[in-house]
């Protein structure tokens, strides 16, 4: 078992206080957006045996177990994060596995450099993800029903939105959403900036259901992503609640602290709310144009007091243990690799003490018990 030392990514949208408060340290004054736990080559966790990706590469079957290697290959198939949003993230979607393989092969064949700003596919893998709230957590997830969005836009009283309102009411659902998103992202930038300014003023006056979008516009004035965001469901998670985000579902995180787990990929197609590259044709190929219920997840209890966040993905499985005073130790020994993360209290993983924000990597088959008083998240795979 290895105690992990983890990199904190200083993305501009990160909170300046949330991760520091979790760790019980003084804030640096700089944004701290994500703490990565895993073997992603971009920021692998460090152990006393070396970087975790190098440790796994040296003996994949020993670290991951033969079943996981046979199913996912010789690498840790998930990446675990603590995510702290102090401002909205980019509006984005992720490809499915076939789309990722196709897109990656295409860009490789065309010689697009991996670090090029117009590169969409950093790998050939999909990136389903799950976010579990540690605090109240705001996000956008999936398209709202077009008729509801038409009512929302019309009530703003902005004349330049009328063509979008008419499209949302005049077409079948998938065509309506496709046409409106395409129109928003390809509109004349100056005219769109004027529309966004009018929308922002109206949203600030009206408040209520418009408040989240007014907040987005405050951070991204004039960005067409503000209008695109209004096509999506706004969701507020309470601590312990989660969202699963599958392929093609547009989403953005707005504010809050959470535990995030995803397939080990970095493939993102952006829709807006970002200064980065927006590839509209490729985005439109990936997006699923259908209204969806965000589907807030609550953990399902198991006989072993393990609360599991059920998803249709095998690359990761996230669960939670809430350890009360006087509870017997939980045996978490498994034939698959695990990362254990403490988010509250003071616990032990085997002989290693863990306080909030601290984590360990447990190789496949290694005996481990958790004890103490607090909360532990368990990340593993379904092999």
List the catalytic residues: 270
Nearest Cα residue to 371 out of 305, 278, 276, 273 = 305
Nearest Cα residue to 84 out of 356, 374, 310, 379 = 356
DSSP codes, 335-361: SS-EEEEEEEEEEEETTEEE-TT-EEE
Pairwise CA distance, residues 377 & 341, whole Å: 5
The two three-digit tokens of residue 27, written as one number: 């804030």
The two three-digit tokens of residue 340, written as one number: 């254990």
Angle among Cα 93, 99, 100 to the nearest 5 degrees reads: 80
* 366 contacts 316 by C-beta, under 8 angstroms: no
* 326 contacts 313 by C-beta, under 8 angstroms: no
Nearest Cα residue to 306 out of 318, 325, 321 = 321
DSSP codes, 13-45: TBBSSHHHHHHTS---SS-B-EEEES--TTS--
Instruction: Tell me the H-state helices in 187-258.
Output: 189-206, 211-219, 225-229
Angle among Cα 294, 296, 300 to the nearest 5 degrees reads: 145
């Amino acid at each position: 078992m290895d105690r992990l030392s983890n990199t904190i990514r200083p993305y501009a949208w990160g909170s300046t206080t949330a991760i520091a408060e979790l760790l019980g340290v003084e804030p640096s004054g700089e944004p701290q957006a994500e703490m990565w736990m895993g073997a992603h080559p971009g920021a692998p966790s460090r152990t006393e045996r070396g970087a975790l990706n190098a440790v796994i590469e040296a003996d994949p079957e020993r670290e991951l177990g033969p079943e996981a290697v046979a199913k996912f290959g010789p690498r840790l198939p998930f990446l675990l994060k603590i995510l702290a949003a102090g401002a909205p993230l980019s509006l984005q979607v992720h490809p499915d596995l076939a789309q990722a393989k196709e897109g990656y092969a295409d860009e490789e064949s065309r010689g697009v450099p991996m670090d090029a700003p117009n590169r969409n596919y950093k790998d050939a893998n999909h990136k389903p993800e799950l976010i579990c709230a540690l605090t109240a957590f705001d996000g956008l997830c999936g398209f709202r029903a077009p008729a509801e969005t038409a009512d929302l836009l019309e009530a703003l009283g902005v004349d330049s939105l009328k063509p979008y309102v008419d499209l949302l009411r005049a077409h079948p659902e998938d065509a309506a959403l496709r046409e409106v998103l395409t129109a928003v992202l390809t509109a004349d930038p100056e005219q769109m900036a004027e529309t966004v300014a009018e929308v922002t003023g109206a949203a600030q006056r009206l408040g209520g259901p418009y408040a989240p979008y007014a907040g987005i516009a405050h951070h991204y004035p004039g960005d067409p992503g503000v209008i695109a965001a209004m096509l999506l469901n706004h969701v507020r998670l309470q601590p312990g609640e989660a969202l699963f985000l599958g392929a093609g579902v547009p989403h953005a995180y707005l504010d809050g602290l959470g535990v995030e787990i995803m397939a080990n990929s970095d493939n993102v197609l952006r829709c807006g709310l970002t200064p980065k590259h927006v590839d509209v044709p490729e985005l439109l190929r990936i997006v699923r144009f259908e209204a969806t219920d965000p589907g807030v997840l609550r953990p399902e209890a198991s006989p072993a007091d393990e609360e599991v966040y059920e998803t249709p993905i095998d690359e990761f499985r996230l669960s939670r243990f809430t350890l009360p005073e006087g509870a017997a130790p939980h045996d978490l020994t498994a034939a698959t690799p695990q990362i254990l993360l403490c988010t509250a209290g003071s616990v032990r993983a085997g002989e290693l003490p863990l306080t909030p924000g601290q984590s360990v990597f447990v190789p496949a088959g290694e005996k481990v018990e958790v004890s103490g008083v607090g909360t532990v998240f368990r990340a593993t795979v379904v092999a």
